[in-house]
Amino acid sequence: MSSTPTSAVLVVNAGSSSVKYQLVDPVTGEATAKGLIERIGLPRGEVHHTVGGTTYDEVLPIPDHATALRLLTAAFAEHGPDLGEIDLLAVGHRVVHGGADFADPTVVTPEVLITIEQLVPLAPLHNPGNLEGILAAQQAFPDVPQVAVFDTAFHQTMPPAASTYAVPRAWREQYRVRRYGFHGTSHAYVSRRVAELMERPLDQLRAVVLHLGNGASATAVDGGRSVDTSMGLTPLEGLVMGTRGGDLDPGVAGHLARSGGLTIEEVDRALSKESGLLGLTGSADFREVQQRREVGDADAELAFQVVVHRLLHYVGAYAAVLGGLDVLVFTAGVGENDGELRAEVVRRLSFLGTELDEAANVGLARGEGGRISTEDSAVEVWVVPTNEEWEIARQAAEVVEGR
């Protein structure tokens, strides 16, 4: 039975046409209410507010983010919990790109808003929606501090050797071309959590975290600090994902422009929306790919092998970057749920000292984490469910309380 917390953070993840939110106790991580407002700007908008196990749905036009935030407060007023009875510490906003400007969660000021706006060219699909969400939340909650938590922030500790692309100076200096990395909130949460679960000090742990969801990234975490990560300037680099193919010879773009007559917009679109599992199999959903493999689909089998091969590349490389490995961690939709993929990766990394506990790997309950390596395994292997909302709430509360 969930209880109304005395203090909480409203976590907001605003996209171009949707706002996801959760009311989270930053100490326990309990979410007492959550919701999704979608199809903003379309004639038929939708509000879904869930509290106490019941979801309340509403369909109505939602012209903009300001209206969405008004509907959010109305949903809380109508269905609870009563925000007036809660000490609302902060509204914590997920912001995708913080560039090199933000290494920490940051209380929103007019200057911060300008900087987020200036970062739009680096994340044209994400930062504008994030910004709209902040502006709307400022109107809806004028007396509550707004805190921006950046997806890139955790990776600002990467050494220049890892974050620098070997490209012309003008690209690096004028256009800020470098590796930034994403999913930082998840990697931060999971690497801290696994240290707690292992009962080992985080500052002595060399970890590789595999965040495998619709988007996917690998991070090398040394003593709690990101030292390398697979996503780069954009979230296109690295692992094979639902609709993004990850690593690619940059010459492919020029080849398609010259030989296929594709525009840069068409190449961009194909790389972010039509590649990855979708490009290889026709489905972006890993579960479906697994179901097709079971009935002998050759495309699905190849996709699985490409996914595994790329994962081996990254874990092997990061073990070298870290100078050894203490723990390998799987998280997010695929990482938390697909025992077959985990088993294949862990078996093929056995040369590093990973030994799979087969029973533990298949016995994990949905949504539950746990250790999936044997007692004797030199490198521990864990599944840790990610919780980005809790991490945003925790970081936002910390910033506000530390002021």
List contacts with ligand AMP (CB under 6 A). 213-214, 242, 285-287, 290, 332-334, 337-338
Catalytic residue among 57, 64, 87, 151: 151
Q: Which helix (H) or strand (E) holds 73?
A: helix 65-79
43: left (phi over 0), alpha (psi -120 to 50) or beta: alpha
Whichever of 334 and 356 has its CB closer to ligand AMP, that residue is 334
Whichever of 71 and 364 has its CB closer to ligand AMP, that residue is 364
- Structure-token match 């990855």, residue found: 276
Nearest to 237 by CA among 180, 294, 194, 285: 180
Single-letter amino acid, residue 365:
A
| Least separation in angstroms between CB 366 and ligand AMP | 7
Whichever of 65 and 211 has its CB closer to ligand AMP, that residue is 211
Instruction: For residue 199, give the 3-state DSSP assignment.
Output: coil
Rg of the chain, C-alpha, whole Å = 21
Whichever of 188 and 397 has its CB closer to ligand AMP, that residue is 188
Is the preceding peptide bond at 81 cis, omega within 30 degrees of 0?
yes
Whichever of 8 and 328 has its CB closer to ligand AMP, that residue is 328
Question: What DSSP line would sit under 151-162, residue for residue?
Answer: TTGGGGG--HHH
**Phi and psi, residue 19, nearest 5°:** -130, 120
Surface-to-core class of residue 295, CB atoms within 10 Å of its CB (0-12 exposed, 13-18 middle, 19+ buried): exposed
Question: What DSSP line would sit under 105-174, residue for residue?
Answer: -EE--HHHHHHHHHTGGG-TTTHHHHHHHHHHHHHH-TTS-EEEEETTGGGGG--HHHH-----HHHHHH
| Least separation in angstroms between CB 331 and ligand AMP | 8
Tell me how many degrees the CA angle 156-158-161 measures, rounded to the nearest 5: 135
Whichever of 35 and 242 has its CB closer to ligand AMP, that residue is 242
Angle between helices 127-140 and 110-118 (to 10 degrees): 160
Q: Which helix (H) or strand (E) holds 228?
A: strand 225-229
Whichever of 10 and 240 has its CB closer to ligand AMP, that residue is 240
List the alpha helices (DSSP H) in 176-297: 184-198, 251-260, 264-273, 276-281, 286-294
Q: Would strands 87-95 and 146-150 be described as parallel, antiparallel, or unpaired?
A: parallel
Q: Which residue, judged by CB position, is nearest to ligand AMP in the bound state? A: 333
Question: What DSSP line would sit under 21-36, residue for residue?
Answer: EEEE-TTT--EEEEEE
| Least separation in angstroms between CB 270 and ligand AMP | 19
Known active-site residue 151 = yes
Q: Which helix (H) or strand (E) holds 352?
A: none
- Structure-token match 């400022």, residue found: 138
Indicate which residues carry an active-site annotation: 151
